[in-house]
């Protein structure tokens, strides 16, 4: 099998916020089609498009009500065919986002399951009888808590004593992967899209497909109302590997790229079983170990000054996966649609161009297939909304707001926390030009545009500026794709230089020749001892070079890609 993704540059599209072609304020497939030339020119040849299937959009499309049709908000089934055709004409492959851990409660399967207790569809979900307390009150079957609310169980409508399991929102019932009939339904859907020409899937939340089959109480204590979120009850369970193998065999081809979201619960050694080259059922495993290395996660009580990138931990996390992945392909990414903007996480809006260029350089020449998140190529950053209501386009935030207010948090604290951490930050409209709504739409978009599009953070102005972030990305990507560099990155040996340097992320990649990246992660000047001989400066985000007596003086967020002699 030819691992074509090892030579690909991926790009993540969040369709609702990419480009609105029909003027209703929501991005759509026609909008993506309009931008294929742009993506091609940028050097992108692999798209991961966040969910586009029919959905009531309680969780922005991750709650699917019909897998076989495109959400009318995004266009028609015909538009998807056009998108595939036009992408392929430009040498761009397409991954669809496939959420199989759960459906929407509006999916036909769940509707039938509710209506007819003897239906086959009822066996597609995890439905259990509740328990009774001493007074005879009905309680959920066990103490499992969900990611989105308190109990992971919700009363099964129409039933006297049964509950269904939902590890995410109550409107997203989990499917029962221990049922071969359910699995077969998913393989049919996968085959349908493979036959249409889809090149692969990003498999949503797959770590949760298998649950602890005993359904006994979690031994963990505490939690609201006695319910505890204990992901070990429904994450990376032993049955999962078999399910993934079967999906590969029965649902897709050998050449189909399968990218699995396994979240933060998985260890590299375990992930290796999933994605070992030639043996594992899937190809790339996304974990989130490198995403939050700045103390921002759960940082509601922290001041902005307390948020600082832990560069050593970042190096450790990349290397931990690399060392364990000699026989695996890896994805390379900073963030996705579930996280704040990387520029605000690890870079700085005060050094927008410098830090955006530094971040992409650092990422591109590590080991793996890069995935750029939409808008990073123009240095998009977190929102500066001035009221919490602006964040409520995401249902997850509605509940979170209630609970933070009930804990007595004031609006200012919530606002500061969300501007720093919320996933809305990644879901604001893509900034195409400096006309109204950043050229994303002709009407006011559902999620407010970030005002900085007026200050040069937009595609059109950056295209015209030879020193822009966008032109730097394009140039850097062209090097990453160059056959010699690609070979060094995929088949060379990666090593960190000066591991304990608290401010600088530097590494060597040794292959047919040796390249080196040196990146200052600070908004201030740092020094870096350099005991090599420069063959060439390939990429650099500043003018001039400050190197004296084997010491580089690095300006704020300065970075180099060097060829070493
Ligand atoms: C994944 C998606 C996220 C979604 C969740 C539930 O983590 O990336 O956006 O909310 O699954 O489907
Ligand atoms: Ca639209």
Domains, the chain: 8-101+181-211+241-471 (3.20.20.80), 108-165 (3.90.400.10), 491-564 (2.60.40.1180)
Residue 13 CA to ligand 1 center (angstroms) comes to 14
- Whole-angstrom distance, CA of residue 68 vs CA of residue 125: 19
pLDDT of res. 1: 57
CB 327 within 8 A of CB 491: no
pLDDT of residue 495: 98
By most ligand atoms within 8 Å of CB, the mutation choice from 205, 262, 286 for ligand 1 is 205
Q: Is 389 annotated as catalytic? A: no
| Ranges under pLDDT 70 in the chain | 1, 149, 264
Residues 262, 287 contacting (CB under 8 angstroms): yes
229 Cβ neighbours under 8 A, 6+ residues apart: 144, 145, 146, 147, 223
Residue 149 confidence (pLDDT): 66
Residue nearest to atom 9 of ligand 1 (CA): 338
Distance (angstroms) between ligand 2 centre and the Cα of 267 equals 40
Q: What does the chain come to in residues?
A: 565
The C-alpha atoms of residue 178 and residue 180 are separated, in whole angstroms, by: 6
Q: Which of 216, 207, 265 is nearest to 238 (CA)?
A: 207
Contact 308, 345 (CB under 8 A): no
Shortest-distance Cα residue to atom 10 of ligand 1: 59
The partner residues of 509 in beta bridges, in order of sequence, read 494, 515
* Ligand 1: centre distance to CA 99 (Å): 8
What tokens appear for 473 in the block?
């990305």
Nearest residue (by CA) to ligand 1, atom 6, is 62
pLDDT value of position 395: 84
Q: Which long-range contacts (CB under 8 A, 24 or more apart) does 57-61 make?
A: 58/104, 58/169, 58/171, 58/172, 58/395, 59/168, 59/169, 59/171, 59/172, 59/395, 59/396, 60/16, 60/394, 60/427, 61/15, 61/16, 61/97
Give the span between the Cα atoms of 76 and 55, in whole angstroms. Answer: 13
CA of 321 to the centre of ligand 1 (A): 22
pLDDT at 223: 74
Q: Is 469's C-beta closer than 6 angstroms to any atom of ligand 1? A: no
Task: Indicate the top mutation candidate among 59, 65, 202 to test ligand 1's pocket, ranked by most ligand atoms within 8 A of CB.
Answer: 59
Q: DSSP H helical segments within 140-263, as ranges?
A: 180-196, 239-251
Active-site residue among 154, 176, 233, 261? 261
Torsion angle in degrees (nearest 10) through CA of 479, 480, 485, 486? -140
Q: Is 261 a catalytic residue?
A: yes
pLDDT in tens, 42-90: 999 999 999 999 999 999 999 999 999 999 999 999 999 999 999 999 9
In terms of phi and psi (left: phi > 0; alpha: psi -120 to 50; beta: otherwise), the region of 380 is beta
26 in contact with ligand 1, CB cutoff 6 A: no
Q: How many angstroms separate the CA atoms of 309 and 102, rounded?
A: 35
Q: What is the pTM of this model?
A: 0.97
The helix (H) or strand (E) run that includes residue 561 is strand 559-564
Q: In this structure, what token pair is assigned to residue 198?
A: 């889809």
Q: Which two tokens stand for residue 170?
A: 């109550």
Can you say whether the dihedral through the CA atoms of 403, 407, 410, 416 is positive or negative? negative
């Amino acid at each position: 099998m030819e691992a074509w993704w090892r030579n690909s540059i991926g790009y993540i599209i969040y369709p609702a916020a990419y480009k609105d072609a029909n003027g209703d304020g929501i991005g759509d497939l026609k909008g993506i089609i309009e931008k294929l030339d742009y993506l091609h020119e940028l050097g992108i040849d692999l798209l991961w498009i966040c969910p586009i299937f029919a959905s009531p959009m309680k969780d922005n499309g991750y709650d699917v009500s019909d897998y076989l049709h495109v959400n009318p908000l995004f266009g028609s089934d015909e538009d998807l065919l056009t998108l595939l055709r036009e992408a392929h004409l430009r040498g761009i492959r397409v991954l669809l986002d496939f959420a199989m851990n759960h459906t929407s409660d509006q999916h036909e399967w769940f509707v039938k399951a509710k209506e007819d207790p003897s239906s086959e569809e009822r066996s597609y979900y995890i439905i259990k009888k509740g328990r009774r307390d001493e007074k005879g009150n009905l309680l959920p079957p066990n103490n499992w808590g969900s990611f989105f609310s308190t109990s992971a169980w919700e009363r099964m409508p129409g039933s006297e004593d049964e509950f269904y399991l939902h590890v995410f929102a109550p409107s997203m019932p989990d499917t029962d992967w221990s049922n071969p009939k359910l699995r077969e339904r998913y393989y049919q859907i996968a085959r349908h899209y493979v036959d249409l020409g889809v090149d692969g899937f990003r498999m949503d939340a797959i770590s949760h497909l298998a649950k602890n089959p005993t359904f006994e109480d979690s031994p963990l204590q505490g939690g609201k109302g006695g319910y505890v979120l204990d992901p070990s009850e429904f994450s990376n369970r032993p049955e999962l590997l078999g399910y993934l193998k079967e999906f590969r065999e029965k649902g897709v081809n050998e050449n189909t790229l399968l990218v699995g979201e396994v979240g933060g619960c998985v260890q590299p050694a375990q992930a290796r079983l999933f994605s070992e080259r030639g043996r594992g059922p899937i190809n790339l495993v996304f974990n989130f170990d490198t995403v939050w290395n700045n103390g921002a996660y759960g940082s509601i009580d922290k001041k902005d000054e307390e948020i600082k990138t832990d560069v050593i931990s970042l190096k450790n996390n990349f290397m931990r996966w690399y060392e364990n992945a000699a026989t695996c392909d890896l994805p390379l990414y900073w963030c996705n649609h579930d996280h704040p903007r990387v520029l605000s996480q690890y870079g700085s809006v005060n050094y927008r161009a410098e830090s955006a260029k530094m971040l992409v350089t650092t990422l591109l020449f590590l080991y793996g297939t890069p995935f750029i998140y939409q808008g990073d190529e123009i240095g998009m950053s977190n929102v500066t909304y001035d009221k919490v209501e602006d964040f409520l386009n995401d249902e997850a935030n509605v509940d979170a707001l209630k609970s933070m207010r009930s804990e007595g948090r004031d609006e200012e604290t919530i606002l500061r926390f969300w501007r720093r951490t919320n996933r809305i930050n990644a879901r604001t409209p893509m900034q195409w030009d400096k006309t109204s709504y950043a050229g994303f739409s002709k009407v006011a978009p559902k999620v407010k545009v970030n005002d900085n599009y007026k200050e040069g953070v937009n595609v059109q102005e950056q295209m015209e500026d030879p020193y822009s972030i966008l032109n730097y990305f394009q140039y850097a990507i062209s090097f990453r794709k160059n056959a010699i560099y690609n070979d060094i990155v995929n088949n060379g040996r990666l090593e960190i230089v000066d591991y304990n340097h608290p401010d600088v992320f530097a590494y060597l990649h040794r292959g047919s020749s040796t390249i080196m990246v040196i990146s200052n992660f600070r908004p201030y000047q740092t020094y870096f001892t350099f005991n090599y001989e420069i063959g060439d400066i390939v990429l650099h985000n500043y003018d001039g070079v400050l190197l004296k007596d084997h010491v580089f003086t690095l300006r704020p967020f300065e970075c180099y890609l060097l060829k070493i002699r």
